[in-house]
């Protein structure tokens, strides 16, 4: 029985990581802009408001370079977040989809403001991912409707989570241009 187990062990192929084809990083010719405040009540404590502010201006010039560009800034006051501010330094992927509730998917590199070892803040390099669902078209004189939803994740260069959150905009509006994709 031992010989059979050893024979099987040595006859099996070595377990190796299978090469993976990377995701397409093609942006489509749409834009996004605006800002607002996300409120997540479960992230409130004595020193944190449970709010994150978002400001975005992004797009892709498909007739030019074909690369995405723009700006993103986050201000964070969540009970379990290390980062208090995040500023995008690059936009590496930018894709939108949908006509009636356009949704944005984007990621890139950033700088995050975090507490330093001496009590002062310091800036660390990071990576960000962002999803925005433009659920409500703001029309002058109207209120209500489904609020826009923003979700984000920010990690440092070692993979440690600095901040994350997904919630509705309780103030402001973000427009994601519709697309037939």
Per the model's pLDDT, the better-predicted residue between 154 and 10 turns out to be 154
In a domain, 10, yes or no: no
Is 6 domain-assigned?
no
- Would residue 8 count as lying in a domain? no
pLDDT tens digits for range 68-125 = 999 999 999 999 999 999 999 999 999 899 988 899 999 999 999 998 888 789 999 9
Residue 35: strand, helix, or coil? strand
Out of 133-137, 141-145, 158-162, pick the least confident.
141-145
Say what the pLDDT of residue 8 is: 47
Say if 118 falls within a structural domain. yes
Q: Are 174 and 96 in contact (CB under 8 A)?
A: no
Q: Is residue 4 part of a domain?
A: no
Query: Could you give the 3-state DSSP secondary structure of residue 113?
Result: strand
Q: Determine how many CB atoms are found less than 10 A away from the CB of residue 34.
A: 18
In a domain, 106, yes or no: yes
DSSP strands (E only) in the chain: 31-39, 51-60, 68-77, 85-88, 93-97, 103-115, 121-133, 149-156, 161-176
* 14 within a domain of the structure (yes/no): no
Average pLDDT, the chain: 86
Total domains in the chain come to 1
Q: Which domain holds residue 162?
A: 24-176
- 143: tokens are 């209120």
pLDDT at 7 over 70: no
Residue 102: per-residue pLDDT: 92
Give CA–CA dist 82/85, Å, rounded. Answer: 9
Token couple for 72: 């993103």
**Span 20-38, average pLDDT:** 82
Question: Could you tell me the pTM of the whole model?
Answer: 0.82
The answer to the question of residue 13 being in a domain is no
């Amino acid at each position: 029985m031992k010989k059979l187990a050893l024979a099987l062990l040595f006859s099996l192929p070595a377990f190796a990581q299978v090469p993976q084809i990377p995701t397409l990083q093609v942006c489509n010719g749409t834009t996004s802009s605006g800002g607002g405040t996300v409120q997540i009540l479960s992230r409130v404590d004595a020193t944190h408001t449970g709010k994150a502010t978002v400001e975005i201006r992004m797009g892709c010039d498909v007739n030019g370079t074909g690369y995405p560009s723009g700006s993103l800034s986050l201000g964070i006051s969540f009970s379990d977040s290390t980062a208090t501010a995040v500023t995008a330094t690059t936009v590496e992927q930018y894709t939108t989809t949908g006509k009636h509730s356009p949704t944005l998917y984007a990621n890139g590199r950033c700088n995050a403001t975090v507490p330093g070892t001496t009590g002062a803040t310091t800036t660390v390099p990071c990576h960000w991912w962002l999803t925005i669902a433009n659920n409500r078209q703001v029309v002058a004189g109207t209120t209500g409707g489904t609020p826009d939803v923003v979700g984000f994740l920010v990690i440092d260069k070692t993979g440690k989570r600095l901040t994350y959150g997904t919630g509705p905009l309780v103030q402001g509006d973000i427009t994601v241009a519709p697309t037939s994709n």
